[in-house]
Amino acid sequence: MQSLWFRRGLAAALWLALVAATSALSAEPMSVQAQSLALSRASDAVVGVEVQAVDDARSAATLGTLRQGSGVVISADGLVLTIGYLVLEAEHVELVTDDARRIPAKVVAYDLATGFGLVQALTPIGREPVPLGEPAAVGREEPLVFASGGEDALVSVARLVSRRPFAGYWEYLIDGALFTHPPRRDHSGAGLFNGRGELLGVGSLFVADAAGPDAPPMPGNMFVPVDLLKPILAELLQRGASRASTRAWLGLNCIEQGGQVRVARVSDDSPADVAGVQRGDQVLAIDGVTVRDVAALWKALWDGGAPERAVKLTIRRGDERQELTLQSVDRAKTLRRARGV
C-alpha cells in the first residue's frame, strides 16, 4: 500500500482523499460525509503526551526521564488512553493539542499486564471522545488510520498485516497484538482507527517482523488492542492496575536466538542480578518447566505461584548447566508510584 502521510489540520481535499482510501474496503460502508466526520473526530481525539519521570526512576536507564508520545481521549471527562511506558514512574504529565494548548494531567493507571496507561486531564480538554472498536473484525485488506498527537501530529493510512500473541523481551506477553505496515517512528501511544473512526489499538513498538516470524521481513508497528482494555477498564480506574499485573518479576530481558532462549540484559539490583544471572546465559527451564521460547518462560513464571517466592532457574553458561534460585518480587513494588496512582 502506498503510504499517505498528512499533517494534522488537513486541507479538505487531503482529508477526503484519506476518507476515500479507508472507505474502499470497509466492511460497513458509510457516506463520505459521515466517514469524514468520524475520522476527523478520531484525529482530533489524539493528543500529545509529555512526561517527566521522577529523578530516581528505575525506568530512566531505558526510557529516560523526559518522554514524548501520544494518547487518545476515550471519555467525555478527559480520560486519555496511552501506552504505559510513557507514564511509568511519572512525576509531571501534560497533554498537548495540535493547536499548542497544554493541559495538566495526572496518571490514574499503569497496567503491567496489558501495557496500557490511563491519564486524566485536570482541566477541560475540548476534544470529543472516540468509541472503542472491535479489532477482531478488521480485515487484512481494510485500510486503517494511524494518528499521532501533539504539535507535530501526523495522520497516515496503514494496513493490518498480522494479529497474533506478542512476547516482549522485558517480561511482557499479550494476546491478539495488532501489527501494521508501513512503519512509523512516532508510534508511542498513537491511535489506530478503522474507517468508522473507532479506536482499535494503541501504538507500542517499531518491529522488523510485522507479517510474522515465518514471513519475509517486513518493518511495521505493534499496537496493543483495545479489546484487552474493555474487561479491565473499571478495575484500572478503581485500583490503578488490573489484578493480573500483580505477578512475579525477575528483571530479565530475554530473546530467542537460534532456537534457544538467551538472556540479553539483566536489570540492576533485580532478583536475576542478585542471583548472578548473566547476559548470554541460555535459559533451559523455570521451576522445572522446560523453556523453548520467551512466551513459555513468562507464562511459567506467572503461573508458578505467588509474586514473591523462590524461583528455580535452570541455565547453561558455556558448557556448564547450573541451577540458580531467584527471589522474585512484585514488579509494582519496585517502581516509584506515579502521582495519582
Q: What is the pLDDT of residue 2?
A: 41
pTM greater than 0.85 (yes/no) = yes
Q: Which of 115, 174, 182, 177 is nearest to 144 (CA)?
A: 182
333 C-beta neighbours (distance < 10 Å), count:
11
Q: What is the pLDDT of residue 12?
A: 43
Domains in the chain, CATH or no CATH each:
1-245 (2.40.10.120), 247-334 (2.30.42.10)
For the chain, the straight-line distance linking the first and the last C-alpha, in angstroms and rounded, comes to 42
**Per-residue pLDDT tens over the stretch 211-260:** 998 899 999 999 999 999 999 999 999 999 999 999 999 999 999 998 89
User: How many helices and strands (H and E) does the chain possess?
Assistant: 7, 21
**Per-residue pLDDT tens over the stretch 88-111:** 999 999 999 988 899 999 999 999
pLDDT beyond 70 at 290: yes
CA 50 to chain centre: 16
**Per-residue pLDDT tens over the stretch 29-84:** 667 777 778 888 898 999 999 999 988 888 888 889 899 999 999 999 999 999 99
The percentage of the chain sitting over the pLDDT mark of 90, rounded to a whole number, equals 74
pLDDT beyond 90 at 339: no
Helix (H, G, I), strand (E, B) or coil at 4: coil
The overall average pLDDT reported for the chain is 90
Contact 67, 48 (CB under 8 A): no
